[in-house]
A and B are shown apart, each in its own frame.
Chain A
Amino acid sequence: MQLSELQLDTLTELINIGVGRAAGVLNQMTQFPVKLQVPAITLLRPQQLAKESGLNDDDPFASVQLNFKGLFSGNAALVFPTNSAVKLVSILTGESPASDIDEITVGTLNEVGNIVLNGIMGSISNVLEQGLKYSLPSYSEQALIELYDIDHLKPESIILIGKTQFSVEEIHIEGEILLIFELGSFDALINAIDNILAANA
């Protein structure tokens, strides 16, 4: 999957508009101003995921996932190493970091993931001008290799990975946003991006 630099920049910008909106929502809820940024994105095929994403270790990751269906289908996930997840919740809630992820933390992570992913999906569906059906967000803790079992992904699927930086004052936490688009849906997104570029040309 080859995108021009302009297409890639526009897609990154689109995602940043989404996470920016998500940061706005988070700031209404927390006492600390949160900045959210996705400086760069990478596009991969499923078979490249383990090798090139650097996410092939066995460490457990905390992830919030959202499935979407319609003319445009796939799965969006916000993924964190477990330690970062605990740290993020502690920063956002102002509570001391827990040594493990309990049900209260799971609920909070679910909401944070929900806000971030909703921001991105809102941004994408706006340019697509298409309504989608969404699942309820779900939380899980497992190694990424189990989370994204490439045997169950269509080889033609496109996986979009964006390194997500959360920062509150001087504290920075990085996570990953993973968006998996099933066959065909990514073309629709690129067409929509091309339309934006043509309109602004």
Chain B
Amino acid sequence: MTEDKLKNVSHYFSMLDYIHGGVCLLQKDYTVLFWNECLEDWTGISKGDIIGQEIDQFYPHLKEPKYRERFSTVFEGGPPAVFSSQFHKYVFPCFLSRKRLRIQHTTVEGIRLDDDNEIYAFIACQDVTDLTERIHAYRTMRDQAVEEVKERERAQQALQEAMKELESFSYSISHDLRAPLRAIQGFSEILAKEYSTSLDEVGQHFLNNVVEAGTQMNQLIDDLLAYCRISDGQEQGYIIPLQQLFEKIHRQISNQLHEQQGILELPGITPDIYVNESLLMQIIMNLITNGLLYHRKNIPPIVKVSCEIKNDFLLLRVNDNGIGISKEYHEKIFEVFQRLHANEEIQGTGIGLANVKKATTLLGGVLSLESTVGEGSEFFIQLPIQNKNKIDIMKNYV
């Protein structure tokens, strides 16, 4: 190409000196005809040094077939060629800093100049360093987050399996304990009934202890089995009207009420909704029983149960005038076998409130407690209601 023609090309493309991106024009013999100012900045190679020279002298890697063959297609009138940053990274290697190379996305397009039929390769180079680094940072962050979620899921699954195994173990142990216990209770009752005259006072005292321990263990097994049944979903049984549930509770609790000389106030008007019988029974019965059991000395227990519907939730309150629970134990008491009192003081198994919590969770509800030591406690349970029609009826009712 003559010097005049080079000048013309330089003039023709001069506007491209103002763009932020590398631009270069090659002749079919790979002579550089144009080299914009951006490429001068990036590479440190001046227009004067490179224009009129073969590009391979400066960038020998462009002789490699993976570049050469695709450039040739462009010179022959073929479609443009794309050199992506992931496969090539740098068509014109140049440093941003001592160790950091400028990452590029490059396109090579065949163009014709006005006055001849020859095809020239128009190379446009975009700096994608920032973008690439940001994407890599994002990918690292995303991969870490995904890994953390997976790790958490694995841990959760392992925990669930361990819990299931433990509950199944508890269930089978409780079940197996029943038979020998029945024998102990049966024979000790026979002893008490038929041979008590043969025992002195100390012997009778020991025998009473055996009978009482048997009763306590029986209760413990009952509670444990209930806990296991709730855990494995066996207790998700019948759906009955709430009113019917309270009637059932009233019948079942009457003996204990009489024994404890307590007062139980159940809701007079009950929302017209249907509830899960066994799970809600576990919740309410355990709270009432506890309220009657843990009463203050010489003060007859009073337990009040109230319920209302608010924003598609059944709000249930059970409060008592009992001994109360210190704040530090408000979480601990819902764990299995957690008891705040010795058996000699108040009899219990330490499973009741764990059952309450588990049944509430299974019903998709939440449980909270407010209590003052020496005054009493109030358990507050919020349960979602799915049956919309019933809610509407109930709203009119309440």
Please name all residues of chain B whose beta carbon is closer than 8 Å to the beta carbon of A110 when the two chains form the complex. 82, 84
Q: Is the CB of A111 within 8 A of B132?
A: no
Which of A105, A118, A131 is in CB contact (< 8 Å) with B73? A118
- Asked if B135 is an interface residue, CB under 8 A from chain A, the answer is yes
Which of A28, A93, A125 is in CB contact (< 8 Å) with B86? A93
Of chain A, the residue at the smallest CB distance from B79 is A134
- Asked if A166 is an interface residue, CB under 8 A from chain B, the answer is no
Most buried by B among A93, A111, A114, A135: A111
Q: Is the CB of B85 within 8 A of A99?
A: no
- Asked if B131 is an interface residue, CB under 8 A from chain A, the answer is yes
B71 to chain A, nearest CB (A): 12
Q: For chain A, residues 76 to 92, give those with C-beta under 8 angstroms from any C-beta of chain B.
A: 89, 92
Of chain A, the residue at the smallest CB distance from B107 is A136
Could you mark each residue 281-318 of chain B with 1 if its beta carbon is under 8 Å from any beta carbon of chain A, else 0? 00000000000000000000000000000000000000
Interface size bucket, A side?
20 to 34
Q: Is the CB of B78 within 8 A of A122?
A: yes
Given A93-B86, A107-B84, A110-B84: A102 in contact with B138 (beta carbons within 8 A): yes
Please name all residues of chain B whose beta carbon is closer than 8 Å to the beta carbon of A99 when the two chains form the complex. 142, 146
Which of A28, A131, A134 is in CB contact (< 8 Å) with B80? A134
- Asked if B69 is an interface residue, CB under 8 A from chain A, the answer is yes
Bound-state CA distance A68–B77 (Å) is: 12
Q: Is the CB of A122 within 8 A of B73?
A: yes
Could you mark each residue 40-76 of chain B with 1 if its beta carbon is under 8 Å from any beta carbon of chain A, else 0? 0000000000000000000000001110011001000
Could you mark each residue 39-83 of chain A with 1 if its beta carbon is under 8 Å from any beta carbon of chain B, else 0? 000000000000000000000000000101000000000000000
Q: Is the CB of A104 within 8 A of B79?
A: no
Q: Is the CB of B83 within 8 A of A104?
A: no
Please name all residues of chain A whose beta carbon is closer than 8 Å to the beta carbon of B79 when the two chains form the complex. 66, 68, 114, 117-118, 121-122, 134, 137
Interface size bucket, B side?
20 to 34
Q: For chain A, residues 122 to 151, give those with C-beta under 8 angstroms from any C-beta of chain B.
A: 122, 125, 131-132, 134-137
Bound-state CA distance A92–B87 (Å) is: 9
- Asked if B210 is an interface residue, CB under 8 A from chain A, the answer is no
- Asked if A191 is an interface residue, CB under 8 A from chain B, the answer is no
Could you mark each residue 147-161 of chain A with 1 if its beta carbon is under 8 Å from any beta carbon of chain B, else 0? 000000000000000
- Asked if A29 is an interface residue, CB under 8 A from chain B, the answer is yes
Given A25-B70, A107-B105, A122-B73: A137 in contact with B87 (beta carbons within 8 A): no
Given A118-B73, A131-B77: A103 in contact with B84 (beta carbons within 8 A): no
Please name all residues of chain B whose beta carbon is closer than 8 Å to the beta carbon of A68 when the two chains form the complex. 79
Please name all residues of chain A whose beta carbon is closer than 8 Å to the beta carbon of B138 when the two chains form the complex. 102
Q: Is the CB of B73 within 8 A of A111?
A: no
Q: Is the CB of A114 within 8 A of B77?
A: no
- Asked if A195 is an interface residue, CB under 8 A from chain B, the answer is no
Q: For chain B, residues 68 to 113, give those with C-beta under 8 angstroms from any C-beta of chain A.
A: 69-70, 73, 77-88, 105, 107, 109
Q: Is the CB of A111 within 8 A of B83?
A: yes
Please name all residues of chain B whose beta carbon is closer than 8 Å to the beta carbon of A103 when the two chains form the complex. 128, 131-132, 135
Please name all residues of chain B whose beta carbon is closer than 8 Å to the beta carbon of A30 when the two chains form the complex. 87
Bound-state CA distance A29–B64 (Å) is: 11
Of chain A, the residue at the smallest CB distance from B76 is A122
Q: For chain B, residues 352 to 390, give those with C-beta under 8 angstroms from any C-beta of chain A.
A: none
Of chain A, the residue at the smallest CB distance from B126 is A107
Q: Is the CB of B85 within 8 A of A107?
A: yes
- Asked if B139 is an interface residue, CB under 8 A from chain A, the answer is yes
A116 to chain B, nearest CB (A): 11
Q: Is the CB of A93 within 8 A of B78?
A: no
Bound-state CA distance A117–B142 (Å) is: 33
Bound-state CA distance A93–B89 (Å) is: 12
- Asked if A188 is an interface residue, CB under 8 A from chain B, the answer is no
Which of B65, B69, B87, B139 is in CB contact (< 8 Å) with A98? B139
B82 to chain A, nearest CB (A): 4
Please name all residues of chain B whose beta carbon is closer than 8 Å to the beta carbon of A121 when the two chains form the complex. 78-79
B125 to chain A, nearest CB (A): 13
Q: Is the CB of A114 within 8 A of B82?
A: yes
B76 to chain A, nearest CB (A): 8
Of chain B, the residue at the smallest CB distance from A70 is B77
Please name all residues of chain A whose beta carbon is closer than 8 Å to the beta carbon of B136 when the two chains form the complex. 104
Given A25-B70, A118-B78, A122-B78: A108 in contact with B131 (beta carbons within 8 A): no
14 of the cross-chain contacts (CB-CB < 8 Å) are A29-B88, A89-B86, A98-B139, A102-B135, A103-B131, A104-B132, A104-B135, A104-B136, A111-B87, A114-B80, A114-B81, A135-B80, A137-B79, A137-B80
Given contacts A111-B86, A125-B77, A125-B78, 13 further A-B contacts (CB under 8 A): A66-B79, A102-B135, A102-B139, A103-B135, A104-B86, A105-B86, A108-B84, A108-B86, A110-B82, A111-B84, A114-B79, A132-B77, A136-B82
> Shortest 6 CB-CB distances between A and B: which pairs?
A28-B66, A107-B84, A111-B84, A134-B79, A114-B82, A108-B86
Task: Give the interface of A toward B (CB within 8 A).
Answer: 25, 28-30, 66, 68, 89, 92-93, 98-99, 102-105, 107-108, 110-111, 114-115, 117-118, 121-122, 125, 131-132, 134-137
